[in-house]
């Protein structure tokens, strides 16, 4: 079983929460962390700096494609950041994560 984190930046805490709740309701993730960040990036030829909220979703690797599609449907950014990060976990947490992302759980 391969565990991943999915890193998604959002313009507001409300938007990050909306995405996290949707993914939880669809049982695509087991948990999400949301925290404020400051982003500096190049956009349309200029350097920009904004306050954003990072969402880290914890799930199984097999769910990445479905999560990416769900996020793209509702995310307000023209090009949302949806980054898959390989992770490892203690056996008890991994078992909980697997249980929470099963449709019949």
Segment 17-57, tens digit of pLDDT? 999 999 999 999 999 999 999 999 999 999 999 999 999 99
Is 55 in contact with 34 (CB distance < 8 Å)?
Answer: yes
CA 52, CA 32: separation in Å to the nearest integer? 16
Architecture of the 3-100 domain: 2-Layer Sandwich (3.30)
pLDDT of residue 104: 61
Specify the pTM.
0.94
Query: Per-domain residue ranges for the chain?
Result: 3-100
CA 68, CA 6: separation in Å to the nearest integer? 9
Is 94 in contact with 11 (CB distance < 8 Å)?
Answer: no
Place of tokens 């929460």: 17
């Amino acid at each position: 079983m391969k565990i991943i984190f999915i890193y998604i930046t959002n313009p507001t805490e409300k938007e990050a929460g909306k995405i996290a709740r949707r993914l939880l309701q669809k049982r695509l993730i087991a948990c999400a962390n949301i925290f404020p960040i400051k982003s500096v990036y190049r956009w349309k030829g200029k350097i920009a700096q904004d306050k954003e909220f990072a969402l880290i979703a914890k799930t199984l690797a097999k769910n990445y494609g479905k999560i990416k599609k769900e996020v793209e449907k509702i995310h307000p950014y023209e090009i949302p950041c949806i980054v898959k990060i390989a992770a490892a976990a203690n056996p008890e947490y991994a078992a909980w994560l697997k249980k929470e992302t099963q449709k019949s759980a």
